[in-house]
Chain A
Amino acid sequence: MSKGTALILGARSDMAMAITHRFAKEGYNIQLAARNADSLAADASDIELRYQVAVTQHEIDALVTASHEAFVKNLPVLPDIAVCAVGYMGEQTVNERDAQAASLVMRSNFEGPASILAVLANRFEERGTGCIVGISSVAGERGRATNYVYGSAKAGFTAFLSGLRNSLAKKGVHVVTVLPGFVATKMTEHMDLPTMLTAQPEEVANAVLTAVEKKQDVIYVKSIWRSVMMIIRIIPEWLFKRMKI
């Protein structure tokens, strides 16, 4: 019955949980990885009961890059799919004044995720199969005054994923970059988001599953974001720098 195993990195977030449910419903066994993985016990039993798949919990700290080799080695089975939903937004107003805060955002969105995916990519390459899904952000497509610290880290991650895809394209390993746009999650709970542009976590989850199955490269969840970002990318810099967006 099992279709394989999906590893979910940063499993605690709303988006990651929605993706987890979607893959479990599809019949994948699940490896939940997060800090304080023990506290995911209720989620693990819930997923097992709902979908009759095996769920395991694994401790990982994305910022402790030296531990990532051992983390992958200690997984009970090398997963078929790895979804990285690790990320942290912080507050731009703090990030631009406080080097420590900025560093935490950059490391959480770029260094940590890139490090762990690099280890997995090597294993997948050796095996000759696998799929890597990186949750990046439209914020990485162009730096904006309101969130360029987070955005720059996501830009790095997006570039990393595109390079990884290029490098693994002929090795049987597929890489999906997800640029979800606004998503109604804990991270955005306090924001007033335009409904037209805001996806539910379940929509992201459906889009990710489709992307994995159809081997899509870069996906936006709500298709309107593709057009929005195309416009944002082509605005000339001399104009863009004067804009408030």
Chain B
Amino acid sequence: MTLSGWGRYPRIDAKLNVPRSEEDLRALVLRGHAIARGNGRAYGDSALSAQNTVHMRHFNRMLSFDAEQGQLVAEAGVLLADVIDAFLLHGWFPYVTPGTKFVTLGGMIAADVHGKNHHKDGSFGSYLDWIDVLVSDGSVQRCSRSENTELFEWTVGGMGLTGIVLRAAIRLRPVTSAWIEQRTLVAENISHAIELFEQSHDATYSVAWIDCLQQGKSMGRSLVMLGEHADGVAVPSQYRKTPLHISPKRKLSIPVEFPSWSLNSLSVRAFNALYYWNGQRKRGQQLVDWDSYFYPLDAILGWNKIYGRRGFAQFQCVLPLQCADEGLRALLSATSSAGAGSFLAVLKRFGTQNSRFSFPMEGYTLALDFPVNKKTLALMEQLDNITVAHGGRFYLAKDSRMSRNVFQQSEPRAQDYLSFRNAQMASNAFASAQSQRLGL
């Protein structure tokens, strides 16, 4: 069947297997070229294998919860949304969450996802106590920071290429309300935005939205949004009795693909300008519920269809701290002079990260998304080169089109990963369209 990631690009003809038991899963892994697929939210081809895509939807049970330690043990196919549904009411929230709650735990581990608090709390992998991985010989290995260490370290952030994560023990964060106190700061340009980030290290959450069509002096003008978990007593009075409960909101749904001309530079420019002015109007402090704060796009089910039939591609890189200002300038200037505004342009400060193959490094990460066409594909190649020239690297969970050459230049770690995979007999057992494209 035809399968794609969230960006709906590329689409490939893939064999989709839907195992129901560990035995089914083992048999599939022994066939080779297996890649686990969760809820299909990786943007490109990370969770696609023409020969053997393994859907994990039947492995979606929560197994135990230890309220002393805030430790949840669950199968890899459990959705983050379901974890929040089950535990926020009791005062628990994920330590690290990506920009959508419709991801599985297995996917979060494979991509070692980060959130708006990376500078302070690190990536998702920091909150794993252990994971069970089904490896190339069909055995299940429990691994952690103290047991089977190498397998653990390569699996977290390893894009599913060491084995299939079956179960994980994750830690949740105690919270006293379902609300976030948000503070919005306005940055006139990119250097100002960086300055604001550097002054905001203490904020739990920080992220900036950039109006990436601006050029010259206001290039990189942005809204920097900081957030803290609100105390139970700080929530709006009508919710104070049940500070952990927010009634479900109505969801919009995009039923059909928009025609591809609907997102043109004019509409993107208008959206960006509106968003900016609206943000300026709201500068200062406000209380926002968790769903609107962390997952604004989840409220529009199927928002990926607004990019039309050809789909869209996301570009996300990270630049090391010392080159960030210069590199971001070069990236933004290339984007705005191509006139290819990105509907969403997000900037985020990363903290330190010690891991084998995870995406984050101390510095700044920029995410842009573009409808797929000749012009934007060429632009993204240009952005690739700027990133490599500034010592940066790329987020594989978002990538759908990078060349092998660019990848190899940006990832000196890939060689070690390959050696590990070869030693584990994992290189033929596990493969995705992405790993084949990148030579990983």
Smallest beta-carbon distance B383→chain A, Å:
40
By a CB distance below 8 angstroms, the chain B residues around A38 are none
Contact B62 A50 (CB under 8 A): yes
Determine the main DSSP class of A at the interface with B: helix
CB 8 Å contact bits of A44-62 with B (1 = contact, 0 = none): 0110011100000000000
By a CB distance below 8 angstroms, the chain B residues around A189 are 18
Contact B86 A42 (CB under 8 A): no
Give the docked Cα–Cα distance between A42 and B82 (Å): 16
Q: Which residues of B (343-396) have their CB < 8 Å from a CB of A?
A: none
Contact A49 B18 (CB under 8 A): no
Give the docked Cα–Cα distance between A43 and B86 (Å): 15
Contact A49 B20 (CB under 8 A): no
CB 8 Å contact bits of B31-67 with A (1 = contact, 0 = none): 0000000000000000000000000000011111100
Smallest beta-carbon distance B92→chain A, Å:
11
Contact B20 A45 (CB under 8 A): no
Counting contact residues on chain A (CB < 8 A from B), the size range is under 10
- Whether, in the assembled complex, A170 has its beta carbon less than 8 Å from a beta carbon of chain B, the answer is no
Q: Which residues of B (282-297) have their CB < 8 Å from a CB of A?
A: none
Contact B20 A186 (CB under 8 A): yes
Question: In the complex, what residue of chain B is closest to A39 when comparing beta carbons?
Answer: B21
Smallest beta-carbon distance A155→chain B, Å:
30
By a CB distance below 8 angstroms, the chain B residues around A45 are 61-64
Contact A50 B64 (CB under 8 A): no
Question: Which of the residues B20, B75, B85 comes within 8 Å of A50, measured between beta carbons?
Answer: B85
Smallest beta-carbon distance A9→chain B, Å:
20
A46-B61, A49-B64 given. 12 additional CB < 8 A pairs?
A: A42-B61, A42-B63, A42-B75, A43-B61, A45-B62, A45-B63, A45-B64, A46-B60, A46-B63, A49-B62, A50-B62, A186-B20
By a CB distance below 8 angstroms, the chain A residues around B85 are 50
CB 8 Å contact bits of B58-98 with A (1 = contact, 0 = none): 00111111000000100100000010011000000000000
By a CB distance below 8 angstroms, the chain B residues around A43 are 61
Give the docked Cα–Cα distance between A43 and B58 (Å): 11
Task: Pull 24 A–B residue pairs with CB atoms less than 8 Å apart, ordered by A.
Answer: A42-B61, A42-B63, A42-B75, A43-B61, A45-B61, A45-B62, A45-B63, A45-B64, A46-B60, A46-B61, A46-B62, A46-B63, A49-B62, A49-B64, A49-B65, A49-B72, A49-B86, A50-B62, A50-B82, A50-B85, A50-B86, A51-B86, A186-B20, A189-B18
Smallest beta-carbon distance A99→chain B, Å:
30
What is the number of residues of chain B that contact chain A, defined by CB distance less than 8 Å?
13
Smallest beta-carbon distance A191→chain B, Å:
14
Pick the 3 closest A-B CB pairs, nearest first.
A46-B61, A49-B62, A42-B61
Question: In the complex, what residue of chain A is closest to B86 when comparing beta carbons?
Answer: A50
Give the docked Cα–Cα distance between A189 and B18 (Å): 10
Smallest beta-carbon distance A192→chain B, Å:
12
Give the docked Cα–Cα distance between A127 and B62 (Å): 36
Question: In the complex, what residue of chain B is closest to A48 when comparing beta carbons?
Answer: B62
Question: In the complex, what residue of chain B is closest to A50 when comparing beta carbons?
Answer: B86
Give the docked Cα–Cα distance between A13 and B62 (Å): 18
By a CB distance below 8 angstroms, the chain B residues around A42 are 61, 63, 75
Q: Which residues of A (81-109) have their CB < 8 Å from a CB of B?
A: none
Smallest beta-carbon distance A95→chain B, Å:
24
Q: Which of B20, B82, B86 has the most CB of A within 10 A?
A: B86
Question: In the complex, what residue of chain A is closest to B18 when comparing beta carbons?
Answer: A189
By a CB distance below 8 angstroms, the chain A residues around B60 are 46
By a CB distance below 8 angstroms, the chain A residues around B64 are 45, 49
Smallest beta-carbon distance A76→chain B, Å:
22
Q: Which residues of A (7-54) have their CB < 8 Å from a CB of B?
A: 42-43, 45-46, 49-51
By a CB distance below 8 angstroms, the chain A residues around B65 are 49
Smallest beta-carbon distance A20→chain B, Å:
12
Q: Which residues of A (162-190) have their CB < 8 Å from a CB of B?
A: 186, 189
Smallest beta-carbon distance A25→chain B, Å:
10
Smallest beta-carbon distance A209→chain B, Å:
17
Question: In the complex, what residue of chain A is closest to B167 when comparing beta carbons?
Answer: A42
Give the docked Cα–Cα distance between A51 and B82 (Å): 11
Give the docked Cα–Cα distance between A42 and B65 (Å): 13
